[in-house]
Amino acid sequence: MSPFGFTRSRRAPGRTPDGRRGVARTIGVSTATLTVLALSAVSLPAQAAPAVQPTVSLASAATAPAGWKLAWADEFSGTTLNRAVWNVANRSTYGDGNKELACLMDRPQNVKVSSGLLTIAARKEATPITCGTRDTRFPAGRTYTSAMLHTKNKLAFQYGRFEIRAKMPTTQGTSKGLWPAYWMRPAAGGIGELDILELIGTGKSDPYSADKVSQTIHYDYVGTHRKQSQVHKLASGNFADGFHNYAVEWAPGSIKWFVDGTLTYTRTLSTTSWIDKAFVGKFYLRLNMAVGGTWPGSPDANTAFPANYQVDYVRVFRR
Ligand SMILES: [Ca+2]
């Protein structure tokens, strides 16, 4: 999901070029400064088995699926975020193009690593938070805060299996306006967006959808080619009631989505003529939760804050 600005643009038909420019201002970096790590150059951190928590079932140390080798992982062990890999937006208005509401903050209230988990927390603030230097939409500050992490200029991959194990905050009826996502964008900029997962929260009057995840690719944000997307529905349970595993396998001419190890969606050259035009070169990782915006709508009185998007791990495998 390009929940923020870009991502959301696809889902948000009304998104404007201004929104995209806003994004670029927020996180744009000269390509001359890129120091992207090649898959083969990534050294693996020691994988200690995380301590078992009383209320959370944590995965053990990374195990590669058959046919894959672990290339990189963050198990979110310890108590600090690995800043060598992750950038955290701070007082960023990213997502204005999607009419998102949250100020994206780099502070423990919104981004925390503890008990083997990364927690991205969306909050409703008692006092508005001043966001950015020229926040023309909310000059008096923003009521909602959240967070966005990304690996631009630090870590990117071409092809591989990209996994995340996470518990979603999109509880049925009490999560209107929340938009958690895990997605990828090209390290060198340009077209192509690969959304491993996006979920949309619901209000009391919305149909049941806590069991649904969107799986999407975008060519660009001006509609040169239509996005291709599907909604996968869990056979039982929902994505907010526990941890689930989401994965994408990206290879030349092929992108496959998995949920809890089951193949759910496949795009190839025969379904998507532009797949190898949009998905070339290295892509970096984006992990975020938007609040509000054209797609999810605004939070309502029943939306429970703080809302926690909990990530057990993100792992990347190569053949
Ligand atoms: Ca973990």
Asked if 12 and 156 touch (Cβ cutoff 8 Å), the reply is: no
d(CA 43, CA 216): 30
Torsion angle of the four alpha carbons 214, 218, 224, 226, in this order, in degrees rounded to the nearest 10: -20
pLDDT at 91: 98
d(CA 315, CA 245): 11
Residue 318 CA, ligand 1 centroid: distance in Å: 20
Residue 163 CA, ligand 1 centroid: distance in Å: 13
DSSP letter for 111, please.
Answer: E
Nearest by Cα to 298 from 141, 129, 142: 142
pLDDT beyond 80 at 22? no
CA 189 to chain centre: 17
pLDDT at 37: 38
Nearest by Cα to 143 from 111, 109, 101: 101
pLDDT beyond 60 at 276? yes
Residue 181 CA, ligand 1 centroid: distance in Å: 18
pLDDT at 60: 52
306 upstream amide cis, omega within 30 of 0 = yes
Residue 119 CA, ligand 1 centroid: distance in Å: 11
Spell out which residues have Cβ within 5 A of ligand 1, the ion: 50, 75-76, 116, 312-313
pLDDT beyond 50 at 200? yes
The CATH code belonging to domain 6-30+63-318 is: 2.60.120.200
Residue 62 CA, ligand 1 centroid: distance in Å: 10
Residue 114 CA, ligand 1 centroid: distance in Å: 9
In single-letter form, the type of residue at position 242 comes to G
pTM, 2 dp: 0.84
Catalytic site positions: 193, 198
Determine the average pLDDT of the residues in 172-176: 98
For residue 80, how many other CB atoms are within 10 A of its CB? 10
pLDDT beyond 60 at 53? no
What are the domain boundaries of the chain?
6-30+63-318
pLDDT at 122: 99
